[in-house]
Structure formats: C-alpha cells, structure tokens
Amino acid sequence: KFGLVFKGEPTGGQAQTSAESLAVAWLPPDQALELIQAEGMKVRVLDALAFAGKVNFKAYISKPSFQVVRELR
C-alpha cells in the first residue's frame, strides 16, 4: 500500500460530497483527530499537521496491529 496525506486550508467555495465521500467538513485539527478511528490514519494526519517543510516517510505494518517499522525524516 502507498498513501499520501496533504495539509491544506479552504480558500473559498463550499465543501460538498461526491461519489467517493458520504460526508465532508472543514474541522479544527483536534476535532478531526477525534473522528479518526484507524491508528494508521491518525499517525498520517498527525504527521501532516506537524509538517515543517520536509517529507516524512514511514513504513508500517497494520496487521495484526499498527506498528511503524521504519521512519525517515
């Protein structure tokens, strides 16, 4: 698997659903993190929120439980 997470902010318009999303919203980071149940996704979002200009690469396993096995910063 390969995943990318991007940090952004709204610049205008309205958030709207699509064929790929049942619900959408712009939330403060703390509220968004409360909604994330998957540990791997939470780690990726935390990395994006802490972005300081450099790519953060993590290799991980997700079964039987989430574990980062390699990290490059």
**Number of domains making up the chain:** 1
Contact 58, 50 (CB under 8 A): no
Of the candidates 65, 7, 72, the one whose C-alpha atom is nearest the C-alpha of residue 39 is 65
Q: Which domain holds residue 68?
A: 1-73
Q: How confident is the model at residue 1 (pLDDT cuts 50, 70, 90)?
A: low
CA distance 27 to 20: 19
Q: What is the pLDDT of residue 34?
A: 96
Both tokens of 29, joined, read 């980071």
Q: For 15-24, how does the pLDDT look when each residue is reduced to its tens digit (9 = 90+)?
A: 899 999 899 9
Of the candidates 38, 41, 61, the one whose C-alpha atom is nearest the C-alpha of residue 49 is 41
Name the average pLDDT for the chain: 86
Task: Report which secondary-structure segment, H or E, holds 26.
Answer: none
Q: For residues 32-61, give the mean pLDDT.
A: 87
- Length reported for the chain: 73
Q: For 63-72, how does the pLDDT look when each residue is reduced to its tens digit (9 = 90+)?
A: 888 888 888 7
